[in-house]
Amino acid sequence: MEYEVLHRRGILQILAGTGIGSPLLHRAIAALMDEQEPLTIDSLKRAEWITDAPLDADQRTAVLGAVNRNRQQIAALRKLPLDATTPPALSFQTVAGPPTRIDILRNAQPIENVAGPRPKTDEQVAFLPLTELSALVRSRKITSVELTNIYLDRLNRYSPMLRCTVTVTKALALRQAEKADAEISAGIYRGPLHGIPWGAKDLISVPDYPTTWGIPHFKDRVLDQTATVASRLEQAGAVLIAKLSLGALAMGDMWFGGKTRNPWNPKTGSSGSSAGSASATAAGLVGFSLGSETLGSITSPAKQCGVTGFRPTFGRVSRHGCMPLSWSMDKIGPICRSVEDCALVFDAIHGADGHDATATDRPFQWPTNAHISDFKIGYQRSSRNPDRPRPELEILKKLGCELVELGPPPEFENYRTLATIINVEGASVFDTLLRDGHTEGWNDWETIFQSAQFVTAVDYLRLQRLRTQLMNDFEEYIRPVDALVNVFEIFHTNLAGHPSIVLPREFRDLRRGDGQRAIPVTLTGHLNDDERLLLLAHQFQNQLSSHLKRPALDDWLAQFEAGELDPKTDTESSDQKEGAESQPSSEKTPKKQSGK
């Protein structure tokens, strides 16, 4: 009998349909393939030997027959146009389930809404929390255009050193600022974000400007689409001033412009992947920013850069118009100076939009009527140093909270392999780019996505079923308390969809004059209990002043301009890819590409 050949790609999907052999056998068969070598009877026999799963002659014939019958169909499917942002027909849902449709009011206001005097210097203005900037703009002690120009000057001065900006949207920002000033002068006030400049992680699409996803292939690509979060902030009167850097395809802090730096110590990276959002906010280059998180991409750079980062419950904010990495895990959230800033931004962007099937409408009110005096807060005792001082616990006691000691979060063997879900979903998102060879500057994604091609559909669904088990176990773990403090459960909360917020408790000097390091606190709440979590974090932060501190940027800038930073940072890490020094682009005319 003469058999047609099958190339390596797509073999796993087809083999799974035969019902013959195990997933291990299927992967072994696929591992024998490459672009030039066909699948033969001898190849099948080698795969059987590797997996100790012998097939008889009829089964071998069935496997190859099924492969050949499906080959043309699979090839035809791959030729159909499919935009990277098109989600699958299945949508992830948290344990909490879908809500009843409600009206979103979006009437949040700062708890204290009285304008103080305008600070004497532009630097002092730039580092004010959103709540204070809002009062100054509302009372016209500073105009939106003045505020926008302060941030534009700072972007021009510090962004080349920090590598935190992909594109400065100067023309758009000034138009929006002028509109805000005209509306406020006419008595039209849209709320606390009106006239405040903000920065978007450069996976959030806006028309007329590049949305690069941090990779060279999309350096000049413009999507003819406005992301829901960008549209809602525009409706709130906010002023988009910059597209901020992200690690390539949402990995780390390395993008085609280089490594985004931490303003507190520019000899180090800002962490990622919301690298530019955290760096620019910490450096006072924007009034606030938006980031995204799949597995730590808001909370990690917020910790590193000493800012306040809020990752909402999965599904509270639409991802429409934003680059997907994992449809079942991506979240959009604010990175700000203070917790209350995060609450005001969250109020403007949360809720369903009819585009993202996972986005839901749930109540949110700020200021909230909730109180925390009877909160139970779960914590873990350190196994290495159980008697060490815990300042964060003392603050919570002072606020009247009850502390409840918990054991470690629930685990099952090799639970971290659930991160494979991200790899598989991401491999599907970027499959066309991968197959076309557009993988320059992808950090480690190329290998990860190639490997993910060999995870069977059966195994992917098994991972999601194990995820359900983890979600239920974690729900039981957190049930006895209202929130967790410094229980580092990044896998659990991202897989289950729980909200978390990170804020700086203090800054400590580093040795050898290497700046300062933020000491963060992480608070985690119940599903869709974002309002009470923000209240707890806000009252906790009111006991501190660390979030108001400013990094010594001019000292670092002098070193940068003298060429003393790059040689010490860009060659130290062997796993860091080369990246040319990149000035932020502004008002360039990129090539158009329509977006769906």
Q: What is the 3-state secondary structure (H, E, C) of 209-263?
A: CECCCCCHHHCCCEECCCCHHHHHHHHCCCEEEEEECCCCCCCCCEECCEECEEC
For 166, the enclosing helix (H) or strand (E) is strand 165-168
Note if 297 is an active site residue: yes
**Rg, Å, the chain Cα set:** 25
- Name residues whose C-beta falls within 8 Å of residue 98's C-beta, 6 or more positions apart in sequence: 360
Rounded CA-CA distance 488/469 in Å is 19
Picking from 424, 416, 379, the residue whose alpha carbon sits closest to that of residue 491 is 416
CB 289 within 8 A of CB 244: yes
Question: Which amino acid would we find at residue 356?
Answer: D
Side chain identity, residue 16? A
Instruction: Choose, from 170, 201, 259, 303, the residue flagged as catalytic.
Output: 201
Separation of alpha carbons 289 and 281, rounded Å: 7
Integer Cα distance of 278 and 303 in angstroms:
9
Find the catalytic residue in 159, 274, 279, 297. Answer: 297
In eight-state DSSP terms, residue 417 is G
3-state secondary structure of 291: strand
User: What is the length of the chain?
Assistant: 596
367: preceding bond cis by omega (within 30 degrees)? yes
Please check whether residue 234 is in contact with residue 278, taking contact to mean a CB–CB distance below 8 angstroms: no
Of 30, 1, 28, give the one whose Cα is nearest residue 13.
Answer: 30
CA pair distance 504, 301, nearest whole angstrom: 12
The one-letter amino acid code at 84 reads A
Active-site residue flag, 273: yes
CA-based nearest residue to 252, from 437, 427, 418, 442: 442
Q: Which of 205, 273, 292, 428 is catalytic?
A: 273
Q: How many CB atoms lie within 10 A of CB 448?
A: 18
How many C-beta neighbours within 10 Å does residue 262 have?
Answer: 29
Whole-angstrom Cα distance, residue 413 to residue 432? 34
6 with 26: CB under 8 angstroms?
A: no
Estimate to the nearest angstrom the gap between the alpha carbon of 163 and the chain centroid. 18
Active site residue 179: no
Residues annotated catalytic, as ranges: 201, 273, 297
